[in-house]
Structure 1
Amino acid sequence: MPQLNPDPWFPIMLTSWLTFSLVIQPKLMAFTSTNSPSNKTATTTKTTPWTWPWT
C-alpha cells in the first residue's frame, strides 16, 4: 500500500515544517498589532426588548 510508505512524504513534511518554524513564523511574530484589544474599554449598550404585535 503506497499510503504506508513514508519515504516520499516525510522529507517534504519535515522540510515544510522547518521552513515554517525557522523562516515564516519569526517574520509573522515580528508584526505588531495596530489595534491591541487590551487598550480598548468595554462599552455596554442598553438594549430594549422588541414588542411583537401578535403577542
Structure 2
Amino acid sequence: MPQLNPNPWLFIMLTSWLTLSLIIQPKLLSFTTTNPPSHKPTMTTKTTPWTWPWI
C-alpha cells in the first residue's frame, strides 16, 4: 500500500513547510499595509427606538 509509505511525500512536505515558514512568510510580513488604520475619534450616534405600527 503506497499510502502508508512516508518516504516519497514526507520530505516534500517538510521542505515546503520550512520554505514557507523561513523564507516566504517573513518576506510577506515585512510589507506595510496599503491602507493603515486611522486614529480618528469614534463618534457615537444617537439612535431612536423603532415604533412598530402593529403594537
Do they fold alike, i.e. is TM over 0.5? Answer: yes
In structure 1, the partner of 2:47 is: none
SS in 1 for 2:34: coil
In structure 1, the partner of 2:20 is: 20
Aligned-pair identity (%): 71
- TM-score of the aligned structures, taking structure 2 as reference length: 0.65
Structure 2: tracts of 5 or more residues without a match: 43-55
1:18-51: per-residue Cα shift (whole Å, max 9, x none)?
A: 0000000000000000112455787xxxxxxxxx
Flag the structure with larger Rg: 2
Indicate the RMSD between aligned Cα atoms, in angstroms. 2.3
Measured in 1, the distance between the counterparts of 2:40 and 2:3 equals 50
Measured in 2, the distance between the counterparts of 1:40 and 1:8 equals 55
